[in-house]
Structures are given as structure tokens and as C-alpha cells.
Amino acid sequence: MYAIIRTGGKQYQVATGDRVLVEKLAGDVGDSIEIDEVLLVVDGDAIIVGQPVVEGAKVFATITDQGKHKKIRVFKKKKRKGYRLTQGHRQSYTALTIAEISK
């Protein structure tokens, strides 16, 4: 059994026991959350597609980590103008462990 969920403007395919890195969510490590934006649920041969979400379907997860990704460098330059700009960015994330998918 797996589901497609939407959180942080992105979609993720999750199954029970999976560990997923999503955009930062409010909460502390060890907190349980429920995600109700479930777009699709597949249970064996039964496929339930939402329009846009599946009514009554929820995914229960536990927050296992709050952190930041590796730093990326953004470098801009204009030739022959002496313009150079370097910026860095570290995106925050929340690591979730999927506990249960209910439909």
C-alpha cells in the first residue's frame, strides 16, 4: 500500500515505514503529524484517485529530524563589467517517518 501526498508545494510517494525529507513543517522531533492532502491511494489492485484529494484519507507520520540541506552556491557574473556576486543558501527540511496510511 502506498499513497501520493502533497506538502510544501511538492508531491511525494510514501509507504508505511518510509523516511521522507519534506519542506520545513512546524513541530518538534518526536511529534506526530497527520497529512490530509492525499492525492492517490493504492492498496493492491484498488486505486483511489482524488479530485483533487481523496476524501477521508490521511497519512500519519512522526517528525524524526529538523535540519538544513547542504549549502549551495549561487554565482552571478557579467563579462567585462566587473560585476561578481556570490550567495549561499541552505534550505530547511523536516524528516518524516511514515507510520500509517488510512483511506
Q: Which SS3 state, helix, strand or coil, does residue 23 take?
A: strand
Residue 36: pLDDT band by 50, 70, 90 thresholds? very high
Q: What is the pLDDT of residues 49-94, one digit of tens each?
A: 999 999 999 999 999 999 999 999 999 999 999 999 999 999 999 9
Residue 51: CB atoms within 10 A of its CB come to 7
Contact 87, 71 (CB under 8 A): no
Q: What is the pLDDT of residues 83-101, one digit of tens each?
A: 999 999 999 999 999 999 9
Contact 32, 25 (CB under 8 A): no
Q: What share of the chain is helix, strand, coil (3-state, %, to 5)?
A: 0, 65, 35
- Computed over every residue of the chain, the mean pLDDT equals 97
Say if pTM beats, i.e. exceeds, 0.85: yes
Q: Are strands 58-68 and 10-15 parallel, antiparallel or unpaired?
A: unpaired
CA–CA separation, 94 and 78 (whole Å): 37
